[in-house]
Amino acid sequence: MRLALLANPAARAGSGTGAAERAAEALRAHGVETTLVSGGSADESRRLLRTALDLGVDAVAVAGGDGTVGLAIAEVAGTGTPLGIIPCGTGNDFATTLGIRELDAEAAASAIVGGRTRDVDLARVVRDDGTTAHFATVLASGFDSKVNDRANAMRWPRGGSRYNIAILIEFLTLARIPYSVEAVLEDGTVERFDGDLVMATVGNGRTYGGGIPIAPDADVADGLLDLVLVRPAGRIRLLRLLPRVYRGTHRGVAQVTMRRVRSVRLDSRGVTAYADGDPIGALPLTVEVVPAALTVFVPD
């Protein structure tokens, strides 16, 4: 097998490079012809990975978090080229969904060598200018967007803890946000919502932000997305909701609406959406499921 291994040197303050090197050693020890790829920017990384694919590698692997995985997904989605993940970023929600342990490069490499694969869904985002992008975990907007903005600007603490701190800080300035939402449900019917929301999220996977189960019923292989809308309420009531979100038990709460959808259009002025932890575009955006769009290596 010939494999291109994309490393994010910024992941966990440089642990992406170290994890990639350890994984490369393990892969080579099992006869996998492994080429390390590491660009100085996202654009350079994409370009180098595209070149490796053009040269005919059999598989791609990523050492980093959800954002770096997203770079690879942009190149391999729909191609049938399998993707392996060595999780070592700030957020590793997609790897966790697949049962791949964080910061265990050798075990992640073993999953690739084992050759067991699984086809999973992706979500495709269509912007108003016609451009598109894919994500694997969760698209977040509204309150979540502000949390991501703040968490990405923080230098301490490392890991998922900074999301928790960002949530608490943004909670102090919580505001109602006017939204227009149009969803195509599982049975093909269309449902609309026009009014104020605190946040709107679309889950292909269950978790974001380092393990928060915002879409507890989501399944990356069911051919559907999970829409979660949170309506305004008093701060005390919303504060009581947070622990339930962290446990994934917010289903049925009065302020929370959950729908299983084929696609959804989100519109709100001045709101930027994040997906897989990175900005993906300003609303309005349309999000649609792409069933079995990605082949991934998974542990036995």
In tens, the pLDDT along 123-166 reads 999 999 999 999 999 999 998 888 878 887 887 877 667 878 88
Q: Is residue 232 part of a domain?
A: yes
Is 217 noted as a catalytic residue in this protein?
no
Helix or strand run (H / E) with residue 25: helix 15-29
Provide the CATH number for the domain around residue 187.
2.60.200.40
Q: CA of 197: how far to CAs of 21, 173, 229, 266, in Å?
A: 45, 14, 7, 11
| Cα 141 to Cα 42: distance, rounded to the nearest angstrom | 23
Query: Mean pLDDT, to the nearest integer, of 283-289?
Result: 99
What is the reported pLDDT for 14? Answer: 46
What is the reported pLDDT for 11? Answer: 52
What is the reported pLDDT for 105? Answer: 86
Cβ atoms of 41 and 34 closer than 8 Å:
no
Cβ atoms of 130 and 286 closer than 8 Å:
no
Are 104 and 244 members of one domain?
Answer: no
Torsion sign across C-alpha atoms 115, 38, 69, 104: positive
Are 161 and 100 members of one domain?
Answer: no
Are 28 and 49 members of one domain?
Answer: yes
Say whether the peptide bond before residue 178 is cis (omega within 30 degrees of 0). Answer: no
The residue type of 144 is D
Q: Which residue has the higher pLDDT, 17 or 61?
A: 61
Q: Is residue 138 part of a domain?
A: yes
Q: Model confidence at 193, in pLDDT bands (50, 70, 90)?
A: very high
- Residue given tokens 């102090």 in the structure block: 172
Q: Which residue has the higher pLDDT, 222 or 19?
A: 222
Q: Model confidence at 81, in pLDDT bands (50, 70, 90)?
A: very high
What is the reported pLDDT for 160? Answer: 65
Are 105 and 9 members of one domain?
Answer: yes
Q: Is residue 267 part of a domain?
A: yes
What is the reported pLDDT for 118? Answer: 97
What is the reported pLDDT for 250? Answer: 95
In this structure, of 60-74, 91-105, 123-137, 283-297, the range with the lowest mean pLDDT score is: 91-105
Domain boundary among 84, 115, 146: 115
Are 279 and 150 members of one domain?
Answer: yes
Cβ atoms of 10 and 45 closer than 8 Å:
no
Provide the CATH number for the domain around residue 35.
3.40.50.10330
Are 35 and 62 members of one domain?
Answer: yes
Domain boundary among 115, 138, 161: 115
| Cα 139 to Cα 88: distance, rounded to the nearest angstrom | 21
Tally of CB atoms within 10 A around 116: 13
Q: How many domains does the chain have?
A: 2
Q: Is residue 299 part of a domain?
A: no
| Cα 73 to Cα 62: distance, rounded to the nearest angstrom | 10
| Cα 125 to Cα 198: distance, rounded to the nearest angstrom | 21
Q: Is residue 6 part of a domain?
A: yes
- Tell me the pLDDT tens digit for each residue of 257-267: 999 999 999 99
Catalytic residue among 66, 121, 276, 278: 278
What is the reported pLDDT for 16? Answer: 55
Are 146 and 224 members of one domain?
Answer: yes
Cβ atoms of 125 and 135 closer than 8 Å:
yes
Are 148 and 231 members of one domain?
Answer: yes
Are 181 and 238 members of one domain?
Answer: yes
Q: CA of 276: how far to CAs of 53, 209, 217, in Å?
A: 23, 9, 18
| Cα 85 to Cα 91: distance, rounded to the nearest angstrom | 13
Are 150 and 99 members of one domain?
Answer: no
What is the DSSP annotation of 151-200?
A: HHH--SS-TTHHHHHHHHHHHTT---EEEEEEEEETTS-EEEEEEEESEE
Domain that holds residue 22: 2-115
Nearest to 109 by CA among 70, 152, 63: 63
Kindly give, in sequence order, each residue whose CB lies less than 8 Å from that of residue 101, ignoring residues fewer than 6 positions away. 87, 95, 107, 108
Q: Is residue 155 part of a domain?
A: yes
Contacts 24+ apart (CB under 8 A), 35-44: 35/2, 35/3, 35/4, 35/5, 36/5, 36/7, 37/4, 37/5, 37/6, 37/7, 38/6, 38/7, 38/8, 38/9, 42/71
Domain boundary among 67, 86, 115: 115
Are 156 and 236 members of one domain?
Answer: yes
What is the reported pLDDT for 224? Answer: 99
Q: Is residue 298 part of a domain?
A: no
The residue type of 68 is T
Q: Is residue 121 part of a domain?
A: no
Are 58 and 188 members of one domain?
Answer: no
